Amino acid sequence: DDSVTISNECPWLEDSNDALIVAEKLGIPFQTVDLSAEYKERIVDYMFNEYEKGRTPNPDVLCNREIKFDVFMKIAMQLGADYVATGHYCRKTSIVNEE
C-alpha cells in the first residue's frame, strides 16, 4: 500500500522484505503492524498544528514517545512478543586491556 508514502524515497517495502529474510535466517517470527493511521494522527497532524503556532516540533522524539514506546509496544505485548526490533541498533563490543 503506497498510500502512506509521502514520496518515492521511502523504501519501506524493500526494508520489510530484508527484515523478513533476516528473520527467516535466524528462525524467529516476523510480524509487521501498520501504524500509519496512528502516525498521521499523533505525529503528522500534531506537527502541522505546531507549525501553525510558529513552533518547530521534533518528530523523532515525538514518534518514540507516541508510537514506538506506546502504540507499538502495546500491540507487541498483546501479540505475546518476547522481543521487538525497531530498526535502531548499536554495535556493542568489549575491549580487553591487556596491560
SS3 per-residue string spanning 65-97: HHHHHHHHHHHHHHCCCCCCCCCCCCCCCCCCC
Residue 45 has pLDDT above 80, yes or no: yes
**Which tens digits make up the pLDDT trace of 83-94?**
887 766 656 677
Could you tell me the sign of the dihedral formed by the alpha carbons of 45, 49, 52, 58, in that order? negative
Give the residue among 4, 76, 75, 79 at the shortest CA–CA distance from 39. Answer: 4
**Which tens digits make up the pLDDT trace of 65-84?**
999 889 999 999 999 988 88
In the chain, the percentage of residues whose pLDDT exceeds 70 is 83
Q: Please tell me the distance from the alpha carbon of residue 25 to that of residue 45, in angstroms, as a whole number.
A: 38
Give the residue among 81, 78, 70 at the shortest CA–CA distance from 38. Answer: 70
- Of 9-13, 17-21, 31-35, the one with minimum mean pLDDT is 9-13
